[in-house]
Amino acid sequence: MLTSPCPAAWARPGRAVPVIAAVLGLLACKHELTRDPRVLYGMIRAEYAEQDKLLCPCEVDEGKYESIAECEARHALTDTELECYYRVLEASQDVVVESLQCTLGAEEELSACVQDVGCTTKDRLDCAIAYMLAIEPCTLPSVVAAKIEAECFGASTQTCEDGQIITDEMRCNGVPDCGDATDERLCPGRFTCKDGFSIPENWACDGDSDCADESDETLCAAFTCSDGATIPPTWVCDGEPDCDDGEDEDGCG
């Protein structure tokens, strides 16, 4: 495993809480060996190989994969795909370095964790939970991620109203990837907040603000109980009486 300049934080994790706390403490710790995206991504791939070496035998034994080779294929790239990946990262160096440094730190800690716990399913789950918390802030900028998917893997793309390119999968995924958030508007089954973020349609007017601007709870036609109390329309006929006299459940099929 590659050595990080960040302080060691993994003890033998018998429980999830200490592991997660350790990782959260590392989020502010940045990998400062290099700012070269090619080198950073190469180091990340070395961590993938380390993890496969540790985890694939466990996962084959558990029946998740038929062979070690099939398990390792999850991280496989052709030489052409890898060179394309490097090219895009280098062209966007100024905006990808922090993301790559963050990812490298998370991958190093995952490698250290799984090396320590072996094939114990519960402890590996603790490692996975801690990893998900650590990797969450490491996402590449959407414009770079879309370029990689389109140029290196042939993904279909769409053009935002501001001219930015995104992949089809970024459209209506609940996260504004276009600079103008147009990719999250008019999405089937989703409600678009005023700031462009979208949420599941049934989250609107449910009595809880899910949009940052609370726009999902404005202009909602509330149900008025006989005592004058109002409840969100989605609470009517939901199988639970919310008015004191239960009238919000009267006449429901």
pLDDT tens readout for residues 4-29: 444 333 333 333 334 444 444 444 44
pLDDT at 237 over 80: yes
More confident residue, 2 or 121: 121
Nearest to 143 by CA among 105, 100, 91, 103: 91
Give exposure, 164-203, as e/b (b: 16+ Cβ within 10 Å). bbbbeebbbbeebbbeebbbbeebeebbbbeebbbbeeeb
pLDDT of residue 32: 56
pLDDT of residue 33: 66
Domain(s) labelled CATH 4.10.400.10 in the chain stretch across: 156-217
The 3-state DSSP class for residue 87 equals helix
> pLDDT tens digit string along 168-221?
988 888 788 888 888 887 788 888 888 777 888 888 888 888 888 888 888 676
* pLDDT grade for 240, boundaries at 50, 70 and 90: confident
Domain covering 156-217, topology: Low-density Lipoprotein Receptor (4.10.400)
pLDDT at 108 over 50: yes
> pLDDT tens digit string along 156-171?
988 888 888 889 988 8
Please count the other Cβ atoms lying within 10 Å of the Cβ belonging to residue 211.
Answer: 20
Q: What is the DSSP letter of 116?
A: H
- In whole angstroms, what is the distance from residue 86 CA to residue 98 CA? 16
The H or E element that residue 48 is part of is: helix 37-61
User: Which two three-digit tokens encode residue 226?
Assistant: 């006989």
